[in-house]
Amino acid sequence: MSILFLDLKASYFELKDELDAAYYRVMNSGWYILGEEVEAFEAEFALYCESKHCIGVGNGLEALHLILRAMGIGQGDEVIVPSNTYIASWLAVSYTGAIPVPVEPDENTYNIDPALIEGAITPRTKAILAVHLYGQPADMDRINEVAQKHGLKVIEDSAQAHGSRYKGRRAGNLGDAAGFSFYPGKNLGAFGDGGAITTDDEVLAARIRMLRNYGSSVKYHNDEKGYNSRLDELQAAMLRVKLKHLDKWNERRKHLAELYYKGLSELDVVVPSVPAWADPVWHLYVVRHNNRDELQKHLTKVGVNTLIHYPIPPHLQPAYREFNISNDAFPLAARISSQILSLPMGSHISEVDINSVSDAISSFARNWHAS
């Protein structure tokens, strides 16, 4: 048995004719940066996210950074972030000169616990950066309520949540602005790096548009010290093709998640729990086991590829040693990171393979209890 964690070639072969045509269209156009393809993709993705504006940028990390910069967040400010997210959520804050302030997740959803946010707010707090981790939306009404009470901005890290819904509303339209990544492995992935920002705020959108292009809205006139962070025409053309298939692919992931649930919910692994108001897009299917390392070894031995998202929380990374955060300061993030395991998930995995993974976990559980 050999079950890939994710098959990145599958979407190319599924849509080869359309993607090749898009490639030739851009190559023949002679226009490769900020042109018709990016403009069209921005309009289509804004519509998809039920958001007024979309700005294509270089990648997901820069999307988050540009939002924070455009909001005027910087040196001396604090931004609340989850303690158990991918390090990019923290880096975006650090790039502005502001301090990321971690808050622990809810143990069942892995998303930031709204009840703990208020305790982390200080006079320097400017924003809450909520992450829709693994494709499941964070509890945005409660987060927005705390933000409103304290006059804070709310940013969604939607890098894992293209298409997911919270109480019927799309990720990307649940706060003041959202950052998306089109890294190849995301639910909507390019064939290289890419990212986008969605927002209903026209002034913010205009400022981000300027910042992504050297701080310039009229060529060679620079109002601010901006950046070079642009989605390119080729990636935009590829994304336009793939966007039309995203809902279908997300439905497929949902079906596979249901199969996993059927196969695993009676075993001694903790399966993901989905609140009634959440419609997740299953970027990752993450289970928990108190002997995770042995389980992962067993699965590797029988040919099932798994990954860990993420093995070390940001506050315990050498990159953040300057904060001197002790090992037990965020025990939930630390414990979760030692127990989680991401199982193969993607729109191109077969039902047979999902059932084989469940069987392999079941056989591990039996041996585990017997020994």
CA atoms within 13 A on the CB side of 275: 18
Q: From the list 135, 189, 195, 314, which residue makes contact with ligand PLP (rule: CB under 6 A)?
A: 195
Residue pair 143/154 in contact (Cβ under 8 Å)? The answer is yes
Query: Is position 183 an interface residue for ligand PLP (rule: CB under 6 A)?
Result: yes
In single-letter form, the type of residue at position 276 comes to A
| Separation of first and last alpha carbons in the chain | 25
Enclosing H/E stretch for 198:
strand 195-199
CB-wise, 170 or 298, nearer to ligand PLP?
Answer: 170
CB-wise, 35 or 192, nearer to ligand PLP?
Answer: 192
CB-wise, 196 or 264, nearer to ligand PLP?
Answer: 196
| Window of 81-89, 95-103, 241-249, 313-321 that interacts with ligand PLP by CB under 6 A | 81-89
Query: Is position 59 an interface residue for ligand PLP (rule: CB under 6 A)?
Result: yes
Integer Cα distance of 347 and 364 in angstroms: 26
Query: Is position 45 an interface residue for ligand PLP (rule: CB under 6 A)?
Result: no
* Cβ-proximal residue to ligand PLP, closest one: 60
From the centroid of its chain, how far is CA 231? 17
Q: Which residues contact 291 (CB under 8 A, 6 or more apart)?
A: 368
Burial of 252 (C-beta count, 10 Å sphere; 0-12/13-18/19+): middle
Residue pair 265/69 in contact (Cβ under 8 Å)? The answer is no
Query: Is position 285 an interface residue for ligand PLP (rule: CB under 6 A)?
Result: no
Query: Is position 94 an interface residue for ligand PLP (rule: CB under 6 A)?
Result: no
Query: Is position 347 an interface residue for ligand PLP (rule: CB under 6 A)?
Result: no
| Window of 86-94, 113-121, 217-225, 332-340 that interacts with ligand PLP by CB under 6 A | 86-94
Token match 């069942």: residue? 108
Enclosing H/E stretch for 355:
helix 351-370
CB-wise, 83 or 160, nearer to ligand PLP?
Answer: 160
**According to CB under 6 A, which residues from 207 to 226 bind ligand PLP?**
none
CB-wise, 102 or 263, nearer to ligand PLP?
Answer: 102
Q: From the list 41, 45, 48, 86, which residue makes contact with ligand PLP (rule: CB under 6 A)?
A: 86
Extended beta strands in 96-244, E state: 99-103, 125-131, 153-157, 165-166, 169-170, 177-181, 195-199, 216-218, 221-222
Query: Is position 159 an interface residue for ligand PLP (rule: CB under 6 A)?
Result: yes
Q: From the list 84, 89, 109, 136, which residue makes contact with ligand PLP (rule: CB under 6 A)?
A: 89
CB-wise, 133 or 205, nearer to ligand PLP?
Answer: 133
Shortest distance, position 219 Cβ to ligand PLP, whole Å: 27
| Window of 40-48, 157-165, 262-270, 340-348 that interacts with ligand PLP by CB under 6 A | 157-165
Shortest distance, position 102 Cβ to ligand PLP, whole Å: 14
Residue pair 275/139 in contact (Cβ under 8 Å)? The answer is yes
Shortest distance, position 179 Cβ to ligand PLP, whole Å: 7
Token match 């707010």: residue? 121
CB-wise, 164 or 181, nearer to ligand PLP?
Answer: 181
Integer Cα distance of 217 and 238 in angstroms: 26
* 3-class state of residue 281 by DSSP: coil
Enclosing H/E stretch for 165:
strand 165-166
Q: From the list 19, 26, 99, 131, which residue makes contact with ligand PLP (rule: CB under 6 A)?
A: 131
Integer Cα distance of 58 and 60 in angstroms: 7
Q: From the list 160, 187, 235, 296, which residue makes contact with ligand PLP (rule: CB under 6 A)?
A: 160
| Number of C-beta neighbours around residue 17 at 10 A | 9
Residues in the chain: 371
| Window of 17-25, 57-65, 223-231, 330-338 that interacts with ligand PLP by CB under 6 A | 57-65
Q: Which residues are near ligand PLP by CB under 6 A?
A: 59-61, 85-86, 88-89, 131, 157, 159-160, 181, 183, 193, 195
